[in-house]
Amino acid sequence: MKTMKTSYRVLGTLLVLLIMMTTQAENNENPLLKPFQHIHQTAPFGEIKNVHFLPAFKAAIEEARAEVDAIINNPQPASFENTIVAMAKSGDRLSTIRKIFFNLNSAETNDEIQKIAQEVAPMLSEFSNDISLNPDLFARVKAVYEQKEQLDLNPEQSTLLENSYLGFVRSGANLNEADKTRYREITGELSKLSLKFSENVLAETNAFEMHITDEEALAGLPDFAKEGAAQTAKSKDKEGWIFTLQYPSYIPFMKYADNRELREKMYRAFSSKSNKGNEYDNKEIIKRVVSLKLEKAKLLGYESHADYTLQRRMAETPERVIEFLEDLHQSSRTAAQKDFAEVVEFAKADGFNEQLQRWDWSYYSEKLKKARYGFNEEEVKAYFKLENVIDGVFDLAQTLYGLELKENKAIPVYHPDVKAYEVFDADGAFVSVLYMDFFPRDGKRSGAWMTDYRGQWHENGQDIRPHVSIVTNFTKPTETKPSLLTFDEVTTFLHEFGHGLHGMLSQCQYESTSGTNVFWDFVELPSQIHENWAYEKEWLDRFAVHYETGKKIPSELIQKIVAAKNFQSGYMSERQLSFGMLDMAFYNTTETLTESVAAIEAKAMAPTELFPMVEGSLMSTSFSHIFAGGYSAGYYSYKWAEVLDADAFSVFKANGIFDRKTADAFRTNILEKGGSENPMDLYVRFRGQEPTVEALLERSGLKN
Paired with 419 in beta bridges are 436
Q: Where is the domain boundary, 170, 190, 218?
A: 170
Q: Are 115 and 214 contained in the same domain?
A: no
Q: Are residues 404 and 541 in the same domain?
A: yes
- Residue 103: C-alpha distances to residues 39, 451, 635 (Å): 20, 8, 22
675 occurs within a structural domain: yes
**pLDDT reported for residue 684:** 96
- In the chain, the amino acid numbered 86 is A
Decide if 690 contacts 680 (C-beta within 8 A). Answer: yes
Q: pLDDT band at 699, cuts 50/70/90?
A: confident
Q: Are residues 162 and 18 in the same domain?
A: yes
Question: Are the CB atoms for 470 and 437 separated by under 8 Å?
Answer: yes
CA R_g for the chain: 27
**Beta-carbon contacts of residue 142 (< 8 Å; ≥ 6 apart):** 165, 168
Q: Give the closest residue to 80 by CA, choosing from 176, 150, 10, 175.
A: 150
Under the banding of pLDDT at 50, 70 and 90, the label for residue 704 is low
State which residues form the domain around 427: 386-506+518-569+637-699
Q: What does 6-26 look like in DSSP terms, one character per residue?
A: HHHHHHHHHHHHHHHHHHHHH
Residues forming the active site: 496
CATH number at residue 80: 1.10.1370.40
According to DSSP, the β-strands at 457-459 and 462-464 are antiparallel
Q: Are residues 550 and 670 in the same domain?
A: yes
Please say whether the beta carbons of 411 and 38 come within 8 A.
yes
- 124 and 228 housed in the same domain: no
Contacts of range 347-356, beta carbons closer than 8 Å, 24 or more positions apart: 355/612, 356/611
Asked whether residue 634 carries a pLDDT value surpassing 60, the answer given is yes
Pair 473, 447: CB distance under 8 Å:
yes
In order, the DSSP letters of 435-458 are EEE-S--TTS-SS-EEEEEE--EE
- What is residue 698's DSSP assignment? H
Residues 454 and 162: their CA atoms lie apart, in Å, by 23
Query: pLDDT tens for residues 575-615?
Result: 999 999 999 999 999 999 999 999 999 999 999 999 999 99
- Give a yes or no: residue 319 inside a domain: no
Looking at residue 661, what is its pLDDT? 98
Count the residues in the chain: 704
Is residue 86 one of the residues assigned to a domain? yes
Last residue of a domain, one of 271, 292, 310: 271
3-class DSSP assignment, residue 467? strand
Rounded percentage of the chain residues whose pLDDT exceeds 90: 92
H/E element, 408: none
SS3 state of residue 35: coil
Q: Residue 211 pairs with which residues in a beta bridge?
A: 242
CA contacts within 13 A on the Cβ side of 476: 18
Residues 213, 152 share a domain: no
Comparing CA positions, the residue from 313, 341, 239, 303 lying closest to residue 633 is 313
- pLDDT digit string, tens, across residues 654-679: 999 999 999 999 999 999 999 999 99
Whether the CB-CB separation of 516 and 503 falls below 8 Å is answered with yes
Where residue 26 falls among pLDDT bands split at 50, 70, 90?
Answer: low
- CA atoms within 13 A of residue 474's CA, in its CB half-sphere: 31
- Give the Cα separation of 51 and 60 in Å (integer): 15
**Cross-strand bridge partners of residue 406:** 422
Between the two ends of the chain, the Cα-to-Cα distance in Å is 96
Instruction: State the Cα angle at 556 between 554 and 560, rounded to 5°.
Output: 120
Q: pLDDT tens, 184-212? A: 999 999 999 999 999 999 999 999 999 99
Average pLDDT, the chain: 94
Question: pLDDT tens digits for 536-580?
Answer: 999 999 999 999 999 999 999 999 999 999 999 999 999 999 999
> What is the three-class DSSP state of 422?
strand
Choose one of 170, 193, 222: the last residue of a domain.
Answer: 170
Domain check: are 15 and 160 in the same one?
Answer: yes
* Residue 454 counted as domain residue: yes
Q: Which strand ranges, in their side-by-side order, compose the sheet holding 419-424?
A: 404-407, 419-424, 430-437, 467-471, 449-454
Q: Is residue 681 part of a domain?
A: yes
Give the separation between CA 508 and CA 661, rounded to whole angstroms. 22
Domain for residue 465, yes or no? yes
Specify whether the CB–CB gap between 477 and 483 falls below 8 A: yes
Looking at the fold, whether 162 and 218 belong to one and the same domain comes out as no
pLDDT at 25 (0 to 100):
52
80-98 burial by CB neighbour count: b if 16+ within 10 A, else e? Answer: bebbbbbbbebbbbbbbbb
Tell how far CA 301 is from the center of its chain.
29
Claim to verify: residue 106 and residue 35 sit in the same structural domain: yes
For 254-291, how does the pLDDT look when each residue is reduced to its tens digit (9 = 90+)?
Answer: 999 999 999 999 999 999 999 999 999 999 999 999 99
**Are 89 and 224 part of one and the same domain?**
no
pLDDT tens track for 379-430: 999 999 999 999 999 999 999 999 999 999 999 999 999 999 999 999 999 9
Full DSSP string of 267-284: HHHHHTTT-SSSTT--HH
How deeply is 47 buried, as exposed, middle or buried, from its count of CB atoms within 10 A (0-12, 13-18, 19+)?
middle
Q: What is the dihedral of CA 508, 510, 512, 515, to 10 degrees?
A: 20
Using the predicted structure, report yes or no on whether residue 17 has a pLDDT greater than 70. Answer: no
In a domain, 677, yes or no: yes
Alpha helices in 208-246 (DSSP H): 223-235
Among 143, 132, 120, which Cα is nearest to 167's? 132
Domain co-membership, 152 together with 223: no
Residues 467 and 563 in one domain: yes
When divided into structural domains, the chain yields a total of: 3
Alpha-carbon span 8 to 37, nearest angstrom: 44
